[in-house]
């Protein structure tokens, strides 16, 4: 962060923690229970008197609670969705109270397999219970209770974040006014499960993984985790974006090496991304969070998707898919929209033209900003939400910032796809 | 094989070997050279008096020389493209002399990293020189010389096989009358390189790989190789075919296990496929063959793709892509067709509707048979190739056989995609 606060930034922020279920364990979908549970979270902006202007941001697979702003004046990078959260941005912190919390099962402050099991005084490792998207949402509900937010103005997230959005709507329909699932699905497909599984196999195959027990100064299963991430990284891009960004360009070579060192820029990129990921993510959490994704099917406890969604007909939806997203292809969103329409919900749906693949939900900032702020304006009007009067009065994103989004990969900003 | 020879089978066949370059090493694209070189191959049907009815079959990444028939009366499965090679089939062995050879760098009889280096008396391992698609084709040319086939009636192959087809056309245009690149590309894209690279990284990460030195009774890098194959297997399928074949069906469970054992059928399939692959493929060969794929760009030694193809204008082409093949998407074939058309070649192009993804080139037997036999009929007529008169007179595939193709995965039949 520059000494001078960047324009339209929420500025310096702090990660906060809320611990609950200390006396009474929280039941999980598996039949197990968990206690205590800590939720790491951040907030930006101010809650209005009526507690009616809260927006809950749900992060993707590798994301965390740090969605916007800077943790220190030396911080080189802002939170993972900083381009969309701040004064005058899509989630305008002059108007809304924005909350982002790290999922349970993760490794960035919320309770997960690397947390200390109070029963043993040692990290859980694989003794941590398997959690679901439903469990993640259940834990967040406790955080919302604590923050005294009964009705959430809007819940938004991309990829796994979008699944949490949908789960919120179905599990706690009376607490949600608007839901924005982006590049998401109502049901993890077999192809998605397949990619999850090979990522997990890469971790199991690393001898340092050691059955999930590696927290006591042993070498960590970084090779396996990096490999899992490399596989993931391919799926977050698109054939087209890889061509635009890398093509068949060689890396640090004038001609083919005819060896097994790095020849191509795309190889170098993947190796770097894989390595970088090991510096901020825990291999066991990768197992748990991908498993939660695989179990995700909004209709699990219902007769059908429509049956699940029928209770959410009063919620306003903004559903967005991206034309080049082959991981969560457009038809996933269309099926969702079709079911929502059938149950009579107010749905706005856009299939955005983009070459960025699944990552597009983090990169198409300018278009997303326009879409989201228009939609939120409608939600606010519909519910007569009193908002602070702000001087700038309208949302805009400069061309420079939009370009910047295109240049920086989302995983570089810590957002992480899925 | 049943005691009675199956209808329309080439019957019992034998793998044959041709060794050359014993005195004079064959130069490679890398600047290195290789000697001696053995080519494993099989032939089906009879070469006519004029030596003008030869069809050369090129296999994909994990394929081998055993394209049709059975190796013994106990052999449970025929060669990998048996549904298209045999009496009355697409490559009608009553009419054509069909040759299939294993690529150098591979591990199924042709010289590769697991072969004995005569200079040391030990397997090459990583001291084997890196080979290219051009080198594979150069070695095959020696086999064609040995078989006294100056002009090859048609060269055909899918995926990596299709790249060899194109390389043959460009390197030895005067020896090729027709070329059939299926589900292929003139240039390996960055996405393809990315998937190759994560497969290689999976092998490097296996401690048993040991820098490629594992041939002396040590445990083999089967975990890494299986993982590489699992990644590959996902890319050979399609989102749609995985839904049709597996959906979210559980494997041997009534409900979620909430553990890290196998929950879903797609996981079980991938684990099985990965394991099965290690029984027939060498990890070092996986490195070498994927590297050859990555280096492949038909225009490498030319000013452009058109420049490369301009020398092939007299060749008749049948180019086929498949609508659900996201690994070698349709646009790859369209670019090729566009360049071929521009240089004035006779091109037949079809983008076949199929849900099978990249594997479609092995599975869409009925349609492929009709397409290929029509095309070959045109080539034969154009060149006045004298063919044996056969009683059945026309090609047909029964519905049952076409269905059978759909049920058996190509990797089960040893064909292997790419």
Q: Which residue has the tokens 């019957």?
A: B11
To the query of whether residue A374 is one of the catalytic residues in this protein, the response is no
- Return the residue in B131, B132, B185, B198 with the most chain A beta carbons within 10 A, the one to mutate for interface testing: B198
How many Å from the N-terminal Cα to the C-terminal Cα in chain A?
A: 27
B323 pLDDT above the threshold of 50: yes
Give the span between the Cα atoms of B110 and B59, in whole angstroms. 13
The average pLDDT across B403-414 equals 39
To the query of whether residue A358 is one of the catalytic residues in this protein, the response is yes
pLDDT of residue A111: 98
The average pLDDT across A29-43 equals 98
A245 contact residues in B (CB cutoff 8 A): 190
B230 pLDDT above the threshold of 70: yes
pLDDT of residue A399: 36
What would the pLDDT profile of A181-222 be if each residue is shown by its tens digit?
999 999 999 999 999 999 999 999 999 999 999 999 999 999
- Return the residue in B132, B258, B324, B334 with the most chain A beta carbons within 10 A, the one to mutate for interface testing: B258
Distance (Å) from the C-alpha of residue A103 to the closest C-alpha of chain B? 17
A222 contact residues in B (CB cutoff 8 A): none
A391 pLDDT above the threshold of 80: no
B30 contact residues in A (CB cutoff 8 A): 256, 258
Give the span between the Cα atoms of A355 and A358, in whole angstroms. 9
pLDDT of residue B404: 34
Q: Which of A135, A294, A325, A359 is catalytic?
A: A325
B29 pLDDT above the threshold of 90: yes
Domains of chain B: 16-188+295-407 (3.40.50.1820)
Give the span between the Cα atoms of A273 and B417, in whole angstroms. 28
Structure token pair of residue A260 = 């097994």
What would the pLDDT profile of A270-307 be if each residue is shown by its tens digit?
999 999 999 999 999 999 999 999 999 999 999 999 99
Q: Which residues of B are catalytic?
A: 159, 325, 358
Give the span between the Cα atoms of A54 and B358, in whole angstroms. 47
Q: Please say whether the beta carbons of A122 and A21 come within 8 A.
A: no
What would the pLDDT profile of A55-73 be if each residue is shown by its tens digit?
999 999 999 999 999 999 9
B229 contact residues in A (CB cutoff 8 A): none
Compare CB distances from B295 to A204, A239, A256 and report the shortest one's residue: A256
Contact A266 B194 (CB under 8 A): yes
Phi, psi of B264 (to 5 degrees): -105, 150
The average pLDDT across B278-301 equals 98
pLDDT band for position B7 (cuts 50, 70, 90): confident
DSSP string covering A266-314 = HHHHHHHHHHHHHTT--HHHHHHHHHHHHH-BTTTTSSSHHHHHHTTTT
pLDDT band for position A230 (cuts 50, 70, 90): very high
Distance (Å) from the C-alpha of residue B272 to the closest C-alpha of chain A? 12
This model of the complex carries an ipTM of 0.92
pLDDT band for position A30 (cuts 50, 70, 90): very high
Question: Of A207, A197, A261, whose CA–CA distance to B206 is shortest?
Answer: A207
pLDDT of residue B300: 96
When the pLDDT of each residue in chain A is averaged and rounded to a whole number, the result is 93
Question: Of A97, A82, A145, whose CA–CA distance to A387 is shortest?
Answer: A97
pLDDT band for position B417 (cuts 50, 70, 90): low
Q: Which of A358, A373, A411, A417 is catalytic?
A: A358
The average pLDDT across B27-36 equals 98
Specify which residues A20 forms β-bridges with: A37
pLDDT of residue B306: 98
Contact B264 A190 (CB under 8 A): yes
Q: Please say whether the beta carbons of B373 and B87 come within 8 A.
A: no
Question: Of A97, A95, A111, A60, whose CA–CA distance to A81 is shortest?
Answer: A60
A1 pLDDT above the threshold of 70: no
pLDDT band for position A7 (cuts 50, 70, 90): confident
B336 pLDDT above the threshold of 90: yes
B62 pLDDT above the threshold of 70: yes
| Strand ranges of the sheet holding A178-182, from the earlier edge strand across to the other edge | A16-20, A37-44, A97-101, A54-58, A154-158, A178-182, A316-322, A346-352
What would the pLDDT profile of A93-114 be if each residue is shown by its tens digit?
999 999 999 999 999 999 999 9
A326 contact residues in B (CB cutoff 8 A): 239, 326
B102 pLDDT above the threshold of 70: yes
pLDDT band for position B388 (cuts 50, 70, 90): confident
As a whole-number percent, the residues of chain A with pLDDT over 90 amount to: 90
A162-166, A408-412, B180-184, B258-262: the lowest-pLDDT one: A408-412
pLDDT band for position B418 (cuts 50, 70, 90): low
pLDDT of residue B391: 57
Compare CB distances from A194 to B190, B223, B270 and report the shortest one's residue: B270
Q: Please say whether the beta carbons of A277 and A229 come within 8 A.
A: yes
As a whole-number percent, the residues of chain B with pLDDT over 90 amount to: 90
Give the span between the Cα atoms of B91 and B372, in whole angstroms. 8
B402 pLDDT above the threshold of 90: no
A308 pLDDT above the threshold of 70: yes
Question: Nearest-CA residue of chain A relative to B30?
Answer: A258
Count how many Cα atoms sit within 13 Å of the Cα of residue B399 in the half-sphere of its side chain.
Answer: 0
Beta strands in B301-369 (DSSP E): 316-322, 346-352
The average pLDDT across B192-199 equals 98
pLDDT of residue A349: 98
Contact A242 B207 (CB under 8 A): no
Taking residue B98's Cβ as centre, other Cβ atoms within 10 Å add up to 28
What would the pLDDT profile of B233-246 be if each residue is shown by its tens digit?
999 999 999 999 99
When the pLDDT of each residue in chain B is averaged and rounded to a whole number, the result is 93
The average pLDDT across B251-276 equals 97
């Amino acid at each position: 962060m520059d000494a001078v606060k960047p324009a339209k930034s929420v500025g310096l922020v702090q990660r906060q923690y809320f611990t609950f279920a200390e006396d009474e364990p929280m039941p999980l979908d598996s039949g197990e229970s968990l206690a205590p549970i800590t939720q790491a979270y951040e907030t930006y902006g101010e809650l209005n008197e009526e507690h009616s202007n809260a927006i809950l941001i749900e992060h993707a697979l590798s994301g965390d609670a740090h969605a916007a702003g800077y943790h220190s004046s030396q911080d080189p990078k802002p939170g993972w969705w900083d381009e969309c959260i701040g004064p005058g941005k899509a989630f305008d912190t002059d108007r809304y109270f924005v909350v982002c919390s790290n999922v349970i099962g993760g490794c960035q402050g919320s309770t997960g397999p690397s947390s200390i099991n109070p029963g043993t005084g040692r990290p859980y490792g694989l003794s941590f219970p398997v959690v679901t998207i439903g469990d993640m949402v259940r834990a967040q509900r406790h955080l919302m209770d604590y923050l005294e937010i009964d009705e959430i103005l809007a819940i938004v997230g991309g990829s796994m974040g979008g699944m949490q959005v949908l789960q919120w709507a179905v599990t706690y329909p009376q607490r949600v006014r608007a839901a924005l699932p982006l590049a998401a699905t109502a049901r993890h497909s077999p192809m998605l499960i397949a990619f999850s599984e090979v990522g997990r196999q890469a971790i199991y195959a690393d001898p340092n993984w050691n059955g999930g027990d590696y927290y006591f100064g042993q070498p960590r299963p970084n090779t396996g985790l990096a490999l899992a991430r490399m596989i993931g990284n391919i799926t977050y891009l698109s054939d087209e974006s890889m061509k635009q960004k890398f093509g068949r360009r060689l890396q640090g070579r004038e001609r083919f090496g005819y060896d097994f060192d790095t020849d191509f820029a795309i190889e170098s990129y993947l190796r770097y991304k894989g390595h970088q990921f090991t510096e901020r993510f825990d291999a066991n959490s990768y197992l748990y969070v991908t498993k939660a994704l695989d179990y995700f099917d909004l209709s699990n406890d219902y007769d059908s998707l429509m049956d699940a969604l029928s209770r959410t007909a009063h919620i306003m939806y903004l559903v967005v898919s991206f034309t080049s997203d082959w991981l969560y292809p457009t038809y996933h969103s269309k099926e969702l929209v079709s079911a929502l329409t059938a149950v009579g919900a107010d749905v706005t749906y856009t299939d955005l033209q983009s070459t960025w693949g699944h990552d597009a939900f983090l990169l198409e900032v300018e278009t997303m900003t326009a879409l989201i702020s228009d939609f939120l304006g409608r939600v606010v009007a519909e519910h007569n939400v009193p908002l602070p009067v702000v001087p700038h009065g309208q949302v805009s994103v400069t061309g420079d910032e939009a370009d910047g989004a295109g240049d920086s990969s989302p995983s570089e900003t810590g957002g992480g796809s899925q």
